[in-house]
Structure 1
Amino acid sequence: MLEQVLIAVYLIVALLLIGFVLIQQGKGADMGASFGAGGSNTVFGSSGSGNFMTKTTAVLATCFFVISLLLGTIAANKNEKVDEFDNLEMPAVEIPVDSEIPNVTTELPAASDVPAPTVTEEETKEEDVPN
């Protein structure tokens, strides 16, 4: 249960972190603000959005790494399913063999019982004639 909650929070924090990083302005954007182009930054106060965005990004990044470590610890401490081959303490159950099964053996004929192939005179004449 805790693992599913942490994964959901982890995904939300990751998406928020990506969004805040993409929204932030670069360092070169302050140059345009000094020439009068920075009038839209007054929503966050006179200092602009720099402090708010930077602090929020730092908090989200810290949460992201802490949740990553927690999920890694939970995954490492999970009990793995034991392979049945490794547990050889209990003997295998022996299934009794039904003794009423007939013993079927086939007797092969002896070599003297098999008749030799017969060759006719016509076959020998055809083989001796070269083509």
Structure 2
Amino acid sequence: MSNYLFSIVLTVHVLVGLGIIALVLMQHGKGADAGAAFGSGASGSVFGASGSANFLSRTTGMLAAVFFLTSLGLSYLSSGTTAKPASIMQDAAVTAPAPAGEAAPAGAADDSKAQSIPK
């Protein structure tokens, strides 16, 4: 369930980030106000002369708040304790062949290939 929720929050986070980028690029800079006074057509826009600036800045602020909340949510979801991965070597039964001068361990066959390897 946690991976599913993490994926949803991550998707919302990325989409909100892209939305913030788009809204910031659509906004006019501070220097654009002087150009609008000389008839650049801003008064004929959908939101009016200053309506688009208020709408875009408020929407950017709301998306920034959602971006902040999803950032906190992602950090909370990723900080959950997970089981440590077990080592591969913990489950493996490591048995070394007996040295040449010593007797083979109990249960080892006398015709094993490990004893016939030349040194």
> Could you tell me how far 1:62 is from its partner in structure 2?
0.8
Q: Quote the residue 1:53 is aligned against.
A: 56
Alignment partner for residue 77 of structure 1, among 77, 80, 97?
A: 80
Aligned residues: 100
Contact 1:13/1:64 (<8 A) preserved: yes
Q: Deviations over 1:30-64 (max 9, x none)?
A: 11112222445531134231100000000111111
Contact 1:32/1:38 (<8 A) preserved: no
Q: Quote the residue 2:8 is aligned against.
A: 5
Q: Quote the residue 1:109 is aligned against.
A: none
Looking at structure 2, the residues matched to 48 and 42 of structure 1 have their Cα atoms a distance apart, in angstroms, of 9
Alignment partner for residue 100 of structure 1, among 109, 112, 115?
A: 109
Query: Based on CA coordinates, which of the two structures has the bigger radius of gyration?
Result: 1
Root-mean-square deviation (CA, aligned residues, Å) is 3.0
Q: With structure 1 as the length reference, what TM-score do the two structures score?
A: 0.62
Alignment partner for residue 38 of structure 2, among 35, 40, 49?
A: 35
Structure 2, unmatched stretches of 5+, are 96-104
Give % identity. 39
1:98 aligned counterpart, secondary structure: coil
Q: Deviations over 1:87-108 (max 9, x none)?
A: 9xxxx96977534315979xxx
Q: Quote the residue 1:17 is aligned against.
A: 20
